[in-house]
């Protein structure tokens, strides 16, 4: 969705450098005397990050698979990149008018999903928060100092998910505030994962793992018959390690973190995840939020919202909406506390090897 120099804002707008570490290596020990054939693996750059697709049993010389994956990713990038002047989102952001603007069915679907999460989380997720992110210095240009209260108030007058109206019949979108801008960085990668998974299923593949920028969707099993393994990263600004392995099948998983990208000003440290309801960085102690859901797009957005909500409101949302959620929260010293929703606990028990 962006080139390497521009990816910083796209990856951090809401919100995150992706924090999933994907375990892709097949294990030995299957029932057959001979090891299973190696899985087809496709990987490369996309949307300012990278993608990886693993297909057990797929022919390694089948060009149709790679073409379908690449075309799908290129389509999402062409529609939703904020770093391409010719993208549909860029065209929408230049449309400083309250008149409806026709958009593609794909972009409408992502906007509708974003609005649903915004409504369910009472504004903790908001795709219009980009100007505030820029003001706090987490956009493409560094800010010399945090914005003033007056600046924050002024920017909040031209942000807000309720100021975006969708028309499914067009499909079209209308901005009640003409200066409204959207950024889909916190949901588009998950959407791309879902589209790639659907493309693979149309080609007849029911066993796969798809990952784009850390957002993952797994179906079926690995080549040796075991469940897919996805690692949740240990929150650590100094290095990378896996805290927990999730054994998954037929589900998507997204993790958002708030511990790598931060700034310091006047002796105060603040992270890159902003609370759209206040226009300021979040003030809770949640450092990582993991969501399991049938849709990678929905998991992507919800993981960001949970970072904003904090452990109290976040876990209340998880139980109210029956979400599979794992929150990692800073405790005393360098300790971590885990908060698991009832559905997360049940799902992990059901899907453990």
Which pLDDT score, from 0 to 100, does residue 344 have? 96
Which pLDDT score, from 0 to 100, does residue 262 have? 52
Which pLDDT score, from 0 to 100, does residue 275 have? 94
Indicate whether 3 pLDDT > 50: no
Which pLDDT score, from 0 to 100, does residue 141 have? 65
Which pLDDT score, from 0 to 100, does residue 36 have? 65
Q: The domain 80-175: what is its CATH number?
A: 1.10.3980.10
Q: What is the 3-state secondary structure (H, E, C) of the chain?
A: CCCCCCHHHHHHCCCCCCCEEEECCCCCCCCCCCCCCCCEEEEEEECCEEEEEEECCCCCCCHHHHHHHHHHHHHHHHHHCCCCCCCHHHHHHHCCCCCCEECCHHHHHHHHHHHHHHHHCCCCCCCCCHHHHHHCCCCCCCCCCCCCHHHHHHHHCCCCHHHEEEECCCCEEEECCCCCCCCCCCCHHHHHHHHHHHHHHHCCCCCEEEEECCEEEEECCCCCCCCEEEEEECCCCCCCCEEEEEEECCEEEEEEECCCCEEEECCEEEECCEECCCCEECCCCEEEEEEEECCHHHHHHHHHHHHHHHHHHHHHHHHHCCCEEEEEEECCCCCEEEEECHHHHHHHHHHCC
Which pLDDT score, from 0 to 100, does residue 45 have? 96
What does the pLDDT average to over 295-308? 97
Mean residue pLDDT across the chain: 85
Confidence tier at 82 by pLDDT (50, 70, 90): confident
Confidence tier at 174 by pLDDT (50, 70, 90): very high
What does the pLDDT average to over 288-301? 97
Indicate whether 223 pLDDT > 80: yes
């Amino acid at each position: 969705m962006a080139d390497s120099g521009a990816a910083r804002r796209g990856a951090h707008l809401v919100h995150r450098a992706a924090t999933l570490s994907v375990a892709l290596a097949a294990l030995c020990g299957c029932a057959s005397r001979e090891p299973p054939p190696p899985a087809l693996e496709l990987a490369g750059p996309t949307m300012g990050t990278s993608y990886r697709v693993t297909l057990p049993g797929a022919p390694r010389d089948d060009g149709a698979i790679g073409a379908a994956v690449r075309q799908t990713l290129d389509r999402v990038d062409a529609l939703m990149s904020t770093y391409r002047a010719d993208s549909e989102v860029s065209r929408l952001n230049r449309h400083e008018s309250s008149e409806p603007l026709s958009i593609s069915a794909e972009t409408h679907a992502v906007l509708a999903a974003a609005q649903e999460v915004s409504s369910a989380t009472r504004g903790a997720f908001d795709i219009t928060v980009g100007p505030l992110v820029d003001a706090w210095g987490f956009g493409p240009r560094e800010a010399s100092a945090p914005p003033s209260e007056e600046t924050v108030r002024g920017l909040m007058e031209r942000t807000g998910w309720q100021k975006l109206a969708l028309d499914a019949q067009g499909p079209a979108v209308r901005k009640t505030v003409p200066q409204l801008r959207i950024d889909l960085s916190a949901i588009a990668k998950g959407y791309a994962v879902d589209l790639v998974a659907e493309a693979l299923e149309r080609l007849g593949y029911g066993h796969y793992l798809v990952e784009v920028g850390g957002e993952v969707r797994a179906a079926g099993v690995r080549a040796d018959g075991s469940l897919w393994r996805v690692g949740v990263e240990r929150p650590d600004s100094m290095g990378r390690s896996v805290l927990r392995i999730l054994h998954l099948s037929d589900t998507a998983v997204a993790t958002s973190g708030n511990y790598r990208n931060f700034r310091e000003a006047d002796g105060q440290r603040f992270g890159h995840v902003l609370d759209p309801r206040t226009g300021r960085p979040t003030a809770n102690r949640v450092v990582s939020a993991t969501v399991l859901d049938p849709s990678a797009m929905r998991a992507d957005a919800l993981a960001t919202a949970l970072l904003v909500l904090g452990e109290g409101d976040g876990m209340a949302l998880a139980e109210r909406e029956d979400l599979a959620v794992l929150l990692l929260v800073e405790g005393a010293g360098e300790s971590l506390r885990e908060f698991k929703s009832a559905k997360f606990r049940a799902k992990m028990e059901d899907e453990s090897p």
